[in-house]
């Protein structure tokens, strides 16, 4: 094994439980230095030289994100590796690192066709916290796809789009009105869709989405509760703890012990299925008498009466006549009836 292989193996084996590992395939040393500075605190970086090393890093379970150029040191494209990662590991985001040049634009187009999660522009996105935000957004998108695929059979397409919107914009703390504008409907229409399906309100669904993303960040042992809360727009860690306790009944430590976002997703899906099941079971069945009456009415010739319909009974106990069918006959013409004079009011003189 060469020196780079030893360095990759040491990065993957010494990452430990402290932080996640980001597999990076970038050849330029200056670009590697910028990525080290931009991703400081986001996780352990494992630099690779070939596409096979990228695949092995993800297959071993150590790397949870990939940042790669479109071509390796030998000039070969990573098209096959990107397609394999997106097909076999859909929860692992793959970000393409490319410059804003003519060749870089072609590589970005090819990477997008291969299924890359997002693009990191060299000398722009690798400075500051931009690339960290891109990684967080890519993780949110991957979790959104997994979540939406699980609840597609339980909710309507409008609610599915609403859930996808909450997951993708959880960091911005969007409002129901903003979600309604993005989906092209009124906010009351969103609430009506949720109510008809027996689901929580749109604001409650937004809280669930933020909690699931927060639980995903708690899967990293090196990330504190306060940091996870601030990344999702909570005013403090206490606000995140209170919302988590109110909706799930668990604390952040309980979420860490039970697998992070997995347990919160299972809880949300179970409650969703329970609510939808109750809504469907409460639907009143069509009475058989109504069906029988309708069939007899359709089968009867002309204006024959329905034999299953009881005749009207008068108050005296005798069977009354059926109601009149057709227009009421006109009253006979006669002299006009004078109107009574109102007391206390004098007649008006003309």
pLDDT at 98: 92
**124 plus 149 within the same structural domain:** no
Note whether residue 238 is domain-resident.
yes
- Residue 285 belongs to a domain: no
The CATH number of residue 168's host domain is: 1.10.10.60
Say whether both 84 and 143 belong to one domain: no
What are the start-end ranges of the H helices in the chain? 3-13, 29-38, 51-59, 79-88, 102-114, 130-151, 157-168, 176-183, 187-196, 202-217, 225-231, 237-248, 252-257, 261-281, 288-299
Q: Based on the domain organization, do 79 and 197 belong to the same domain?
A: no
Q: Is 299 part of any domain?
A: no
| Residues ≥6 apart with Cβ < 8 Å to 63 | 12, 20, 21, 22, 23, 46, 54, 57, 92
The pairing of beta strand 63-68 with beta strand 21-25? parallel
pLDDT digits (tens, 9 = 90+) for 5-37: 544 444 444 444 334 688 999 999 999 999 888
Residue 313 phi/psi, 5° resolution? -110, 130
CB proximity list for 346: less than 8 A, separation 6 or greater:
none
Give the pLDDT confidence score for residue 238 in this predicted structure: 92
User: Looking at the structure, do residues 145 and 171 belong to the same domain, yes or no?
Assistant: yes
Whether 263 and 150 map to the same domain: the answer is: yes
Q: How far is CA 243 from the centre of its chain?
A: 18
* Closest among 251, 243, 255 to 204, alpha carbons compared: 243
Are both 42 and 168 inside the same structural domain? Answer: no
Verify that 274 and 141 share a domain, yes or no.
Answer: yes
* Domain finish residue from 69, 101, 128: 128
CATH number at residue 61: 3.40.50.2300
Query: d(Cα 167, Cα 139) in Å, to the nearest integer?
Result: 10
Cα end-to-end distance, the chain, whole Å:
121
- Report residue 155: phi and psi, to 5°: -125, 170
Q: Judge if 21 and 151 occupy the same domain.
A: no
Domain boundary among 231, 259, 279: 279
| Residue 149 within a domain | yes
Separation of alpha carbons 201 and 176, rounded Å? 10
Q: State phi, psi for 238 to the nearest 5 degrees.
A: -65, -40
pLDDT value at residue 68: 93
Burial status of residue 10 (CB atoms within 10 A of its CB: 0-12, 13-18, 19 or more) = exposed
Q: Are residues 244 and 219 in the same domain?
A: yes
Number of domains in the chain: 2
Let me know if residue 47 belongs to a domain.
Answer: yes
Domain boundary among 83, 103, 128: 128
What pLDDT was estimated at residue 147? 73
Query: Concatenated DSSP letters for 30-52?
Result: HHHHHHHHHTTTT-EEEE-SSHH
323 domain-assigned: no
**CA–CA dist 271, 251 (Å, integer):** 18
Do 271 and 176 lie in one domain? The reply is: yes
Count Cβ atoms within 10 A of the Cβ of residue 244 and give its class: 0-12 exposed, 13-18 middle, 19 or more buried.
buried
Same domain, 90 and 166: no
Q: Give the domain extent around 183.
A: 137-279
* pTM for the whole structure: 0.58
Share of the chain above pLDDT 70, in %: 72
Residue 58: the pLDDT is: 87
Structural domain contains residue 318: no
My answer on whether 107 and 181 are in the same domain is: no
Spans of the chain below 50 pLDDT: 1, 3, 6-19, 283-291, 293-294, 297-298, 301-308, 311, 313-314, 316-317, 319, 332-333
Q: How far apart are CA 198 and CA 228, in angstroms?
A: 31
Spell out the residues 6+ positions from residue 81 whose beta carbon is closer than 8 angstroms to its own. 51, 52, 54, 55, 68
Asked if residue 287 belongs to a domain, the reply is no
């Amino acid at each position: 094994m060469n020196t780079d292989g030893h360095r990759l193996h040491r990065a993957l084996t010494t990452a430990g439980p402290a932080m996640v590992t980001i597999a990076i395939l970038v050849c330029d040393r200056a670009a590697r230095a910028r990525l080290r500075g931009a991703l400081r605190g986001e996780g352990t970086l494992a630099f690779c030289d070939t596409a096979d090393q990228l695949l092995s890093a993800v297959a071993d379970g150590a790397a949870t994100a990939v940042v790669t150029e479109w071509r390796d040191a030998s000039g070969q494209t990573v098209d096959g590796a990107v397609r394999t990662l997106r097909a076999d590991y859909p929860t692992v985001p793959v970000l393409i690192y490319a410059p804003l040049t003519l060749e870089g634009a072609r590589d970005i187009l090819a990477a997008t066709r291969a299924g890359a999660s997002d693009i990191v522009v060299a000398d722009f996105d690798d400075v500051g916290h931009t690339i960290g935000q891109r990684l967080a957004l890519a993780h949110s998108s991957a979790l959104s796809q997994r979540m939406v695929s699980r609840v597609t059979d339980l909710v309507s397409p409008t609610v599915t789009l609403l859930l996808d919107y909450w997951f993708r914009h959880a960091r911005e703390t969007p409002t129901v009105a903003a979600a309604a504008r993005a989906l092209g409907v009124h906010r009351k229409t969103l609430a009506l869709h949720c109510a008809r399906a027996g689901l929580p309100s749109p604001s409650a669904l937004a809280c669930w989405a933020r909690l699931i993303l927060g639980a995903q960040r708690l899967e990293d042992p090196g990330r504190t509760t306060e940091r996870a809360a601030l990344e999702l727009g909570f005013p403090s860690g206490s606000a995140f703890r209170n919302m988590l306790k109110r909706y799930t009944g668990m604390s952040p430590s309980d979420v860490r012990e039970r697998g992070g976002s997995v347990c919160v997703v299972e809880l949300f899906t179970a409650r969703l299925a329970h609510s939808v099941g109750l809504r469907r079971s409460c639907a009143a069945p069509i009475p058989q008498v109504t069906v029988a009456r309708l069939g007899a009415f359709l089968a009867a010739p002309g204006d024959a009466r329905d034999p299953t319909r009881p005749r009207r009974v008068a108050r005296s106990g005798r069977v009354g006549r059926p109601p009149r069918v057709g227009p009421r006959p006109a009253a006979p013409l006669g002299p006009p009836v004078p109107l009574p004079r109102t007391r206390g009011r004098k007649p008006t003189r003309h």
